[in-house]
Homo-oligomer: A and B are copies of this chain.
Amino acid sequence: MSALQLPLYLNGDAKRSEWSDRILQGDCLALLPNIPDESVDLIVTSPPYADSRKKTYGGIHPDDYVDWFLPISAQLLRVLKPSGTFILNIKEKVVNGERHTYVLELILAMRQQGWLWTEEFIWHKKNCYPGKWPNRFRDAWERCLQLNKQKQFAMYQDAVMVPTGDWAKTRLRKLSQTDLRRDESRVSSGFGKNVSNWVGRELVYPTNVLHLATESSNRKHSAAFPLELPKWFIKLFTQEGDLVLDPFVGSGTTAIAARMLGRHYLGIELLPEYVELAKLVQFNSGNM
């Protein structure tokens, strides 16, 4: 789909409400330029991993990955609001017995591009692919890179608080004065170790290791990542009515998550079959 064939609702002059909440089929590098500057509150995406979907996406070679992604991230930087956040779910492949370095290089290159590498969340995959190899174990985690345009960005931490675990109660009982003092010295700022702030509370703030609920909706389609993953980031970085973009929306997981949470969304997907699947699920998820 060329720029000239773009649907009217992607015209930059249109109001957002006229072009959001859709799944677009096409190359995101061709479609992204039609999204207005600084119009997106949150980008959550899981791009095709290097060399891993050769049959479907043509297979980006690990050595070419950074060059392939940088023009896209340049567009994402443009369309993101100054207070917005970009969550990039990615993991390096094993190449010739080594972890490839394209993710490291991508982070460095995106910083040159103007992004701030604010944080790296860890997604612990509970049911990772099985297998046994002579010199490695199963890969059970992926990176969720948090990138921003500014040091100050929108973040709604209270929206993702989690119930206090049993460990907290146990821990509290065991806390001695020396424990408290030691931790106070270890934590230099902010919330710190003021136990009174969380004693008796039912909810606590999570960490940067994603500990999502084990419950997973009965999805019949294969999703790139579980629904809970985009939901968590959408709750954390947006409010109702905000706009969430996924330039590699696949079967629509991010769009569904946004819809469920009352956020506007815009999904882009290259493969028509995924677009159809996404639209189907999108339609069926109306009452979720």
| Chain A 161-193 interface mask (CB, 8 Å, partner B; 1/0) | 000001110010010001100110011111111
- CB pair A108 B111 closer than 8 Å: no
- CB pair B118 A137 closer than 8 Å: no
- Copies of this chain present in the complex amount to 2
- Please name all residues of chain B whose beta carbon is closer than 8 Å to the beta carbon of A101 when the two chains form the complex: 107-108, 111, 117
- CB pair A140 B191 closer than 8 Å: no
Q: 8 Å CB contacts to B: which residues of A269-283?
A: none
Taking Cβ atoms with an 8 Å cutoff, the residues of A that contact B are 96-99, 101, 104-105, 107-108, 111, 116-120, 122, 124, 126-141, 151-153, 155, 157, 166-168, 171, 174, 178-179, 182-183, 186-193, 198, 204-209, 216, 218, 222
Q: 16 pairs across A/B with beta carbons < 8 Å?
A: A97-B118, A99-B119, A99-B120, A104-B108, A118-B135, A130-B198, A130-B205, A131-B205, A132-B191, A133-B190, A135-B155, A136-B208, A137-B157, A137-B207, A138-B207, A140-B207
